[in-house]
Amino acid sequence: MEGTLQRPKHTAELLQDILERAKALPEQGKVADYIPALAEVNPDYTGIAVAELDGNVHIAGDAQIPFSIQSISKIFGLTLAMERMGDALWQRVRMEPSGQAFNSIMQLEWEQGIPRNPFINAGAIVVADTLVSHYSASRTALIQFVRSLANNPLIHADETVWQSEREHGSRNAALAYLMKSFNNIEADVETVLDHYFYQCSLNMSCVDVARSLAFLANRGLQPSSREIICDPRSTHRINAMLSTSGMYDQSGEFAFSVGLPAKSGVGGGLVAVVPDYGVICAWSPKLNRFGNSCRGMYMVTQLAEELGLSVYS
């Protein structure tokens, strides 16, 4: 009988296997170039990390190379803002899927400057406004928060990407000024945008991202430091919004086929939370038409399926 039985694969072995399959897929997708500095990245990078709550981290491929986390940073900003603002935050940003592209302007006009959720650009700009208004040095507060979550003091913003975002940020500026006209931005718009672009330009590896967000899989308690980052009600809320809005206009499909709270960024990162187990982060720069990483989607989908990780099963 032995030999005919399939030995369950060790997680690291499984990751390697999935990574190789992802790299063997037919070429698809395109690196984001609407922020020119992002187009400089090697499109073939592919990595995946799984940080388990017991402290084990499994990796394959380029999981230790820092990349531009872009919209994944919206989770860090939101966590800080929820702690600072309490329920008042939900007067200024809603918790509904948008059904629009992440940088769409139309809906914001119809809905009087109140963004649909904190994971579209307009919502994250409102969140940035609350941070700028509440902290004397909001960028420092954010980077210290991220470094301590990831236990990596070397995490920093990429100056070139930050500058490139500023230079090519007309659409984000339009969103911010439109919200200002509806009195939904309190601070100086340029200062708010500067904070927003800064957090988008943070560089982190898959390992950093997976480790830093472990509290979302652990009811708010960061397993490595035993520090309470937020209460279980907040992790419930963040995970719920990640499930409905984290993958933008592909969130429904992602819930349907994977079933995990997740967030993507146009740098090609994709992070998925597995409650009571850990956090997965995959990275590969080529994006599909929704702005989600093609290989990242494939790898997380395969891993979730093979390990039976869906929260809906």
Binding footprint of ligand DON on the chain (CB under 6 A): 70-71, 102-103, 121, 165, 172, 200, 248, 264-266, 291
CB of 11 to ligand DON, least distance (A): 27
Tokens found for residue 268: 């090609």
> How many CA within 13 A on the CB side of residue 76?
33
CB of 34 to ligand DON, least distance (A): 7
Q: Check 73, 74, 146, 264 and give the catalytic one.
A: 74
Residues 182/188, Cβ–Cβ less than 8 Å: no
Active site residue 74: yes
Active site residue 34: no
Distance from the first to the final alpha carbon of the chain: 31
> Residue 124 or 210: which CB sits closer to ligand DON?
124
The secondary structure of 219-288 as a DSSP string is: TTEETTTTEE-S-HHHHHHHHHHHHHHTTGGGHHHHHHHT-S-EEE-TTSEEEEEETTTEEEEEE-SEE-
> Residue 62 or 158: which CB sits closer to ligand DON?
158
Task: Using CB positions, name the residue nearest to ligand DON.
Answer: 71
Helix (H) or strand (E) segment spanning residue 30: strand 30-31
Q: Check 41, 196, 258, 263 and give the catalytic one.
A: 196
Q: Check 41, 57, 68, 71 and give the catalytic one.
A: 71
> Residue 200 or 206: which CB sits closer to ligand DON?
200
CB of 291 to ligand DON, least distance (A): 4
Active site residue 180: no
CB of 271 to ligand DON, least distance (A): 12
Active site residue 71: yes
Active site residue 9: no
Q: How far apart are CA 94 and CA 58, in angstroms?
A: 36
Residue (of 84, 118, 90, 61) closest to 284 by Cα position:
61
Q: Which residues does the annotation mark as catalytic?
A: 71, 74, 196, 248, 266
